[in-house]
Chains A and B, each alone.
Chain A
């Protein structure tokens, strides 16, 4: 389904990655201990596991939203060297349930020029829609669009297609994967659907009993 993406650096821990890889070292939050992993630029790392296994907590820790131990790097930039909001501006977390604080959709975007509206099935008039009237599927797609406007340097996606019908989910997947490969964002993608993981993942880790384990190569590879 996807073209072979240009890999900018090798995978693996401490692989001397200079350009834009997301690297976690000694991350510990809740039951999870000593998580070390590297997501290369443009790579999609899928994360699965039963509810409550700590997938969302791990993403929140990477985005530095909860107190935890360990350090994260984006390329050569250590998280500790940046202010919290500067890190989150680069490493953008999209939660499973998005929140909206202003009245109109457009108020949540930095400017009236939003790329990708059409690709996700919207038009420019969408920006004038009141948030109240959005369906949960529309909210989810707009939240994804909001999270990549302006562009981040890495993405953390928490079940980004959970509220979408199968056809729309495929469309959003394609759009996301294309953007990720094109911009070279290292991406951690929490997903439940094995078929989806097979479609989007370069690598698949399962989170079980506080441990991350390789779930083998995705089926298509």
Chain B
């Protein structure tokens, strides 16, 4: 079965409907029309540009271009992690920890999936590597951002509790143990929910896209399961690394809680 060609005018029709939706919300004074239009425009422009980049990348298929693209994606994801936190670690630690956690987990799981499981020739073939890494990074980024936000905000709010536990002689790991568990849980919850609901409540986006593009459902399902597991691994290990490093950074060598290492207010 071939892919049904999608013409620009057909996309324009969908865009027209989005504009109609924005018009309705503006008429009802719901106040989201403007941001809706901006977001829709960003989707169209960003995806068009990345489409051009991917076309060029697929055509060249050189390792260093793939690596450059991957690095760029990683740095942007690191910036997003920092931007989504109300209280972030100062001095570049927030960015550093988030980016390192995503690098360690997303990159290693993506490389492992490519070399051992999928096995394209060569292993960094951009048609496989870039979408896989993108999906991994997107999900790991959400998990890391949620977990770090929960951890730092929680430490800020529960300062007195943590310090009282320190006063009783608990090691820092124990004094912040409840918060670390909460942070891990909130980082992993979206992934666990997605796995639990997959196929029953929702059809995952990648699988839907593949089926629409003409792939047999059985094959699309196999890829989707692989992706789900890879995402879970990436998010899980990424969140684990980020929570471990960030919670350590909240204490100093004498196991004192050092909240001045967090920026004091949201922006």
Contact = CB atoms under 8 A, between A and B. Distances in A.
Contacts of A94: 167
B165 A65 contact: no
Interface string A22-44: 00000000000000000000000
B201 interface: no
Interface stretch (B26-34, B99-107, B169-177, B233-241): B169-177
A85 B170 contact: yes
A107 to B, nearest CB: 11
Interface string A73-110: 00000000001111011101111011111000000000
B166 A98 contact: no
Contacts of B160: 95, 97, 99
Nearest to B255: A84
Interface in B135-174: 160-161, 163-172
A89 B163 CA distance: 13
B165 A101 contact: yes
A173 B106 CA distance: 59
B165 A64 contact: no
A92 B169 contact: yes
Binding site of A, secondary structure by majority: helix, strand, loop or mixed? loop
Contacts of A97: 160
Given A64-B256, A67-B252, A101-B161, A95 B167 contact: yes
Interface residues of B, number: 19
Contacts of B258: 67
A97 B169 CA distance: 17
A89 to B, nearest CB: 3
A86 B164 contact: no
A154 to B, nearest CB: 12
Given A65-B163, A99-B160, A85 B256 contact: no
Give the contact-size bracket for chain A.
20 to 34
A63 B167 contact: yes
B172 A93 contact: no
Contacts of B257: 65
Residue of A67, A98, A99 with most chain B CB atoms under a 10 A cut-off = A99
A146 interface: yes
B64 interface: no
Contacts of A65: 163, 166-167, 256-257
Contacts of A95: 160, 163-164, 167
A200 interface: no
A169 B122 CA distance: 78
Given A64-B256, A67-B256, A85 B167 contact: no
Contacts of A83: 171, 255
A84 B256 contact: yes
B256 A66 contact: yes
A66 B251 CA distance: 11
B254 A101 contact: no
A188 interface: no
Interface in B218-262: 252, 254-258
Contact of B166 (A85, A101, A146, A152): A85
A190 interface: no
A35 to B, nearest CB: 18
A85 B255 contact: yes
B178 interface: yes
B172 A85 contact: yes
A198 B178 CA distance: 42
A85 B254 CA distance: 8
The 7 lowest CB-CB distance pairs between A and B, nearest first, are: A89-B169, A84-B255, A99-B164, A84-B254, A99-B161, A85-B171, A93-B167
23 contacts: A64-B256, A65-B166, A65-B167, A65-B257, A66-B256, A67-B258, A83-B255, A84-B254, A84-B256, A85-B166, A85-B171, A88-B169, A89-B168, A92-B167, A93-B167, A95-B160, A95-B164, A95-B167, A97-B160, A99-B165, A101-B165, A101-B178, A152-B169
Interface of A: 63-67, 83-86, 88-90, 92-95, 97-101, 146-147, 152
Given A65-B166, A85-B166, A93-B167, 6 more contacts: A84-B256, A85-B170, A88-B168, A92-B169, A101-B165, A147-B168
Interface of B: 160-161, 163-172, 178, 252, 254-258
